[in-house]
């Protein structure tokens, strides 16, 4: 899981162009949205694309992202349970 979380953080940093953020800057339990990383609705959509592209998870309802992107831990957990690749 540790490895998976680090990989996921690197993927998030890459697709969201978080240039000055390092994996260790992202708290596993901190909310991805709201303050902190300063992410917005387009970033949420990019994370949905990331889940499809890298893990074969297709989300049809963007509102569902709100639950999944609560934190890196929650997201990693969701991916573990639902990944198809």
Partner 1 sequence: MEDLKLKYVYIDRQHACVDGVMLEHESQGGAMLSELYRAHIGDWPKFFKMDTLSKVGFLASDLLLKAIGREKPGEEYTSDCAVVLFGTTASLCADRNYQETIQDADNYYPSPALFVYTLPNIVTGEIAIRNRFRGETSFYVVEKADAAQMAFHLACAFDDDVTAGVLAGWVDSRHNDDFQAFFTMVTRDDAKYTDRLAAAIQTIMDNSNI
Partner 2 sequence: MGKDRSVLITGCGIVCAIGLDKVQVLDSLLSGRSGIGPVRYLKTGHTEFPVGEVSMSDADMESALGIASGTVTTRTSLMGMMAVREALSQARLSREDLNGAAFVDGTTVGGMDKSEQYYLDFSAGNSRDAYIKAHDCGSCSEMIADRFGRFKYITSISTACSSAANAMQLAADMIRLGEADIVVAGGSECLTKFHLNGFNSLMILDRNQCRPFDAGRAGLNLGEGAAFLVLESRESAARRGVKPVALLSGYGNACDAFHQTASSPDGEGAYLAMTKALADAGLQPSDIDYINAHGTGTPNNDVSESHAMMRLFKESLPPVSSTKSLTGHTTSASGSIEAVICILALQNGFTPINYAFENPMEDGIVPNMKLRPDRPLRHVLCNAFGFGGNDSSMVLSYAGED
Q: Site residues (CB under 8 A) for partner 2?
A: 40-42, 45, 48-49, 62
Residue 52 binding: pick among partner 2, partner 1, none (C-beta 5-8 Å cut-off by kind): partner 1
Minimal distance in Å, beta carbon 18 to partner 1?
7
Residues that bind partner 1 (CB under 8 A): 15-20, 38, 42-43, 45-46, 49, 52-53
Q: Strand runs (DSSP E) across the chain, as ranges?
A: none
Least distance to partner 1, CB of residue 49, Å: 5
Alpha-carbon gap, residue 27 to 32, rounded angstroms: 9
Cα distance between residue 44 and residue 10, in whole Å = 16
């Amino acid at each position: 899981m540790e490895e998976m979380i680090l990989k996921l953080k690197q993927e998030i940093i890459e697709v969201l162009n978080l240039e000055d953020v390092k994996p260790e800057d992202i708290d596993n339990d901190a909310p991805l949205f709201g303050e902190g990383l300063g992410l917005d609705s387009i970033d949420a959509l990019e994370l949905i694309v990331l889940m499809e592209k890298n893990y074969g998870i297709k989300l049809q309802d963007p509102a569902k992202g709100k639950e999944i992107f609560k934190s890196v831990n929650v997201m990693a957990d969701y991916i573990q349970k639902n990944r198809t690749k």
